[in-house]
Structure 1
Amino acid sequence: MEVTTKLKSLEKLWLYENQLSALPAGVFDKLTQLTVLNLNTNQLQALPARVFDRLVNLKELYLCKTVARPSQCSCSGIFMYCHERSLASVPAGIPTTAQYLYLHVNQITKLEPGVFDKLTQLTHLALNTNHLKIVPRGAMYDSLWNLMELSFQNNQLQALPAGLFDRLVNLKTLHVDYNKLQAIPPTLFDRLTELTHLELDTNQLKSLPPGIFDKLGKLTKLELHHNQLTTVPAGIFDRLVSLKELKLYTNQLTALPDGVFDRLVNLQKLWLFGNQLSALPAGVFDKLTQLTVLSLHTNQLQALPARVFDRLVNLKELYLSAVLVGCFLRVGRISGGVVTPRLRPTNSFTRLI
């Protein structure tokens, strides 16, 4: 400890291929300029708590063959590769130093409660493309507070328990798409206040609980396409003030609530195609002054509200094919599915279909 205390300007430290079985607590605390640390090939069975916390400039960390790891996995620094190994369960002995854990494309059918409890440094966890049908609440319980990305994509999940994600307070990206979810608990995302990207698409959702997104003020991308939604609750998007992309296409939407998009003042892309919309509320797009892409094709619209696109001063791509083909609109003329719009002169379209 005294040795490293005097090396405050040290930038690179190689300790690999020794027989270190333990490290003193705080051994690296004074090395705030360190950018490279190599501990490969030692005999460490564990590391002191928060041993790397003060290494604010660290760019490269090598720990392979340092702490015990499952024989089915390989590693590179803080990355643990256990994917495509035909694993039926999460292997025991994942190093507590792992920050990236890849378990995708296996045959994992269940997660035992507490299976990740010791992996407090994990920031990325990939469980996509397995055979998971349920996820017990305890599997994610206390330890993964540093997790930033979690993927359950392409499993067989039919439900998610309330409170499952409550401890994942730093999560930024969550993938639960390509599953069989029919409903979600109304408070499921309440603790995910740092979330920026949420994928719920390609499930069997028939409805959304009111307020389900109310705590997601930092969300920038929301994917709800390829579900079975027939409507969305009034105010469902009101708290998503940072949202830039919203995908609602290929559902069964027949109507939109008045003012449903009014709070999405930063929205840039909106996909509504492939639904059963027969009418649009007056002024439905009036607040979307940042919108650049709007897709409405393949619906059952017989008419559009007067001057419905007038406020879309930044719109670049408008898709209306198969919506009102052959009809004359107040916003312009359609010929063969191509719209000739009467919009403000500030519009400069790059694509109009």
Structure 2
Amino acid sequence: MPLECIGSFRHSTQQLCRSCLLLFLLVSIPYSFLLENFDDDELPLATSQTLGGTAAQNVPGCPDNCTCPTEETVDCGGLDLHIFPNNISAAIQHLSLQNNQLQELPYKELSRLTGLRTLNLHNNHITSEGLPDEAFESLQLLQYIYLANNKLSVAPQLLPSTLRIVDLAANHLTCVYPLTFGHKPGLRSVYMHNNQLNNTGLPFDAFNGSDAVSTLILSSNLLTYVPQNLPRAIVRLHLQNNHISRIPKGALNSQWRLRELYLQNNNLSNNGLDTSTFSRLKSLEYLDLSNNNLSQVPAGLPPNIAILHLGRNHLSALPPERLSRVRSLQYLLLQSNALTASGVHPEAFSRLRSLHTLHMYNNRLESIPPGLPRRVRSLMLLHNQIACIGLEDFAATYALVELNLSYNRLYSAHIHRLAFRKLRRLETLDISANQLTYLPAGLPSSLQVLHLQKNQLNSLSPEPLVNLTMLKELHLAHNRLRISSISPGTWQELHGLKLLDLSYNELSYIPPDLPESLEYLYLQHNRIAVIVAEAFLTTPNIHVITLRSNHLLAANVSEAAFADLNLLEVVDTTGNPEPINISLLQAGR
């Protein structure tokens, strides 16, 4: 028990923990967020029976303005109560007083509710001084207590041994006592996020005798190291948004059931870990170490991790041995580090046969990293310094479905004409925000979405698009395209195209012979000055046309252009030199 919290259980909590009260502002979180963190069987019973439903007929004896659908349930939530109701039946089992103005719980009124199983006091103004030590002594059937979003400075010293869920999130907690959570064999979930707990305020024996705890949420506190002597049955452990710089040796050795471990937004470095830190977590499936100070991938990662988040660290290299143990890895997130292509060992991913999502964006890659996972389906390489794509760069990644190369330094001449030849399953390709002057050759016929916006494209020809019969979206905004630079027949093979974005170019009129399948056409911010009668002759299925901020005058817009567009829903002509008569554009209606 921490020295700051030693004292008689009958002393006031203000006297007990005055020295451990820290003057930090509470970051309040909405109750809807808290509810999202509960399992289906962990919702406050009184709340789950009233939220989103219609008011039921009250049973006799219901307190004024409250809702009592049964003799066992009383809901007095959201009534702006300042005083605990004094006429609640002693027979109730579920009491909801959330979203009120309560500052204290009177022992006399609470102690007679001996059958109470659920007590929801979320979002009030209850202080530790207003919560007597003996407040819960007579509630020996209580299973669910929700005290989140109040003003408690220390945790209740004595809670019933029957509890299954305790929610103390979003208070000002600095101290926890041995019998707050200890010696409760049925306790399953503890929520203490958004408080001011440091390691001194969390005693070593805080969970002794509570071996069934499976969910422990300690995020957004002031912890500087991972607490020791945690319950052996933990499945979900949330420690993100603390000041953790180390994990003591053996701190996680007994948590063999742990599946989710959140450690993001801390101060962890490799010096604060050792080779056995994670090695015994045989059930671990999700490990989030993002936004820390790691310079290397941690050693000894267990093999069953499916999602590994190492983004926003200081990784500069990927050696072969660090990831090879994690045979079940499916998602590997390495964004916002200092990785270079030369720092990625060719064997770094070789044993990751289940890996299908790899994020390496916002690094320092100067070329496509070697040895990419063979079964990767989603590859994010945007915001790097990649200047070329060679013949063999994607030769082994035959399963790729999504490839993002945007915001790099690619030139058309530096993309090999056969670079994409093996990507026969590729559906989405993003090469936007590079230095391309013409479309890459050899694009896969499987493509459905192609992003080429924010380049230097100054011409379009049929050859690169000839086999793209499955293409549904083509994004060409923010380029240098003119009507004269679009060769005849450019669109003729795009039989499935539904969206064409040619905005922010240099077009002087509507491109001719657009695909019949087209439904969305974006032409804003061009130089279009005239719309002839035949402008949309080949696009009878069009739904949306945007023409804002062009050079259109009403006299140069043909009524006949829109006459047969029976599916047309939106025509945006704002921002032209003069208003276009919208009724003119409804001629086909």
Coarse TM-score class (shorter-chain normalised): 0.7 to 0.9
In structure 1, distance between residues paired with 2:191 and 2:89: 29
Q: Does 1:261 align with 2:252?
A: yes
Task: Supply the AA of the counterpart residue of 1:275.
Answer: N
Matched residue SS, 2:181: coil
Q: Distance in 1 between matches of 2:250 and 2:350?
A: 22
1:250 counterpart residue number: 241
Structure 1 residue 115 displacement after superposition: 2.3
Task: Select the residue among 104, 107, 122 that pairs with 1:110.
Answer: 104
Q: 1:328 is paired with a residue of what secondary structure?
A: coil
Instruction: State the match for 1:138 in structure 2.
Output: 134
Instruction: Tell me the secondary structure at the aligned position of residue 135 of structure 2.
Output: helix
8 A contact 1:114–1:138 mirrored in 2: no
RMSD (CA atoms): 2.6
Q: Name the counterpart of 1:151.
A: 146
Structure ID, larger Rg: 2
Q: Secondary structure at the match of 1:137?
A: coil
SS of match in other structure, 1:246: strand
SS in structure 1 at match of 2:109: coil
Secondary structure of residue in 1 paired with 2:267: coil
Question: Which structure ranks higher in relative contact order (CA pairs < 8 Å, sequence separation ≥ 6)?
Answer: 1
Cα distance change, pair 130–72 in 1 and its aligned pair in 2 (3 A): same
- CA displacement, residues 229-278 of structure 1 (integer Å, 9 cap, x when unaligned): 11245x422xx222110001110011110011110011110001100011
* 1: CA distance, partners of 2:80 / 2:221: 30
Q: Corresponding residue for 2:310?
A: 320
Percent identity of equivalent pairs: 26
Give 1:109-258 correspondences, 5 Å limit. 109-134=103-128, 135-142=131-138, 144-163=139-158, 165=159, 168-207=160-199, 208-233=202-227, 235-237=228-230, 240-258=231-249
> 1: distance between equivalents of 2:281 and 2:96?
39
Q: 1:241 to 1:344 in 2, by over 3 A?
A: farther
The 8 Å contact of residues 250 and 273 in structure 1, kept in 2 or not, is answered as yes
Question: Normalising by structure 2, what TM-score?
Answer: 0.45
5 Å-filtered alignment, 1:273-352, equals 273-279=264-270, 280-306=273-299, 308-309=300-301, 312-329=302-319, 330-332=321-323, 337=337, 342=348, 348-349=354-355, 351=357
- Local SS of the residue matching 2:216: strand
Structure-2 separation of matches of 1:90 and 1:344: 64
Would you say the 8 A contact 1:221–1:243 is kept in 2?
A: yes
Contact residue 242 and residue 266 of structure 1 kept, 8 A: yes
Deviations 1:298-350 (A, max 9, x none): 111123454x22xx222111100112333334425967649999589587346
| 1:115 and 1:139 in contact (8 A); partners too | no
Change (3 A) 1:84 1:224: same
Which one of 90, 93, 97 corresponds to residue 91 of structure 2? 97
Measure, in 1, the Cα distance between the counterparts of 2:116 and 2:63.
16
Pairs aligned (count): 281
User: Is residue 315–residue 348 contact of structure 1 (8 Å, CA) maintained in 2?
Assistant: no
Query: Counterparts of 2:282 and 2:232 in 1: how far apart (Å)?
Result: 13
Task: Report the structure, 1 or 2, having the larger helix content.
Answer: 2
Measure the CA separation in 2 of the matches of 1:136 and 1:273: 36
| SS of residue in 2 equivalent to 1:169 | coil
Q: Which amino acid aligns with 2:322?
A: V
Q: Residue 320 and residue 147 in structure 1: after superposition, are their counterparts in 2 closer, same or farther (change >3 A)?
A: same
CA distance in 2, matches of 1:170, 1:350: 44
CA contact (8 A) 2:312 2:335 kept: no
Amino acid at match of 2:147: F
- Number of the residue aligned with 1:56: none
Q: Which runs of 5+ in 1 are unaligned?
A: 1-61
Counterpart of 1:72?
65
Q: Distance in 1 between matches of 2:303 and 2:133?
A: 46
Code of the aligned partner of 1:297: S
Q: Retained in 2: the 8 A contact 1:315–1:347?
A: no
Report the CA distance shift for 1:328/1:335 in structure 2 as closer, same or farther (over 3 A): farther
Q: Show CA shifts across 1:167-210 (max 9, x none).
A: x2221010000000112123422232210000011100111211
For residues 78 and 349 of structure 2, what CA distance do their matches in structure 1 show? Answer: 52
1:101 corresponds to which letter in structure 2? L
8 Å Cα contact 1:251/1:274 also seen in 2: yes
Secondary structure of residue in 1 paired with 2:180: coil
CA distance in 2: counterparts of 1:64 and 1:350, whole angstroms: 55
Check the 8 A contact 2:126/2:151 in 1, yes or no: yes
